[in-house]
Amino acid sequence: MKQKLLFLLLTVFFTGTLFGQNRQLTGIVTSKADNQPIPAVTVMVKGTQTGTTTGGDGRFVLSVKATGGVLEFSSVGFRKVEVPITSSNTYNVEMEVDVMNMTVLKGANAAALCGSRATNGVIIITTKKGKDSRKLGVDFTTSMSMDQVAYAKVPE
């Protein structure tokens, strides 16, 4: 009887341990434009608070539950990328650049354009053009008229 109880307890313990284990996901995030690694990309499991960021070499390590989900990759200047979590432990992701141009202004030029708070410098980011949407807009119509009443003197 003691052996059966011990066997049952060990089975429950090891089953719980197997199903409760996390696994390590690793990978590298690169730019689609030039295949260079992208630092400081946020890597999150969608709908949770589980996440990490890529290092200076674009690499990340993330511990997730063994079940599925979706990885979200996001960074300033890039479009968000979503990748389903499969049985693979390696996820190499390319992100599409959304920034067309970045300009750095310093000193008087920055202050002239953006005011006195910008004397230490300003970074101007020009993004790619968005889709044309004719659904949004404002129509404004106005009119004005003036009339002057003509009067004549009536003879007495």
pLDDT at position 9, please? 53
State yes or no: pLDDT of 20 exceeds 90. no
Kindly state the tokens that stand for 36: 């260079």
pLDDT at position 86, please? 92
- Look at the alpha carbons of 86, 91, 97, 102 in this order and tell me if their dihedral is positive or negative: positive
Instruction: pLDDT band for 15, please (50, 70, 90 cuts).
Output: low
In tens, the pLDDT along 55-92 reads 999 999 999 987 789 999 999 888 999 999 999 999 99
All domains in the chain, ordered by first residue? 21-95 (2.60.40.1120), 98-129 (no CATH)
Q: Give the pLDDT mean for 7-18.
A: 54
How far is 55 from 49, CA to CA, in rounded Å? 19
Portion of the chain with pLDDT greater than 70, in percent: 79
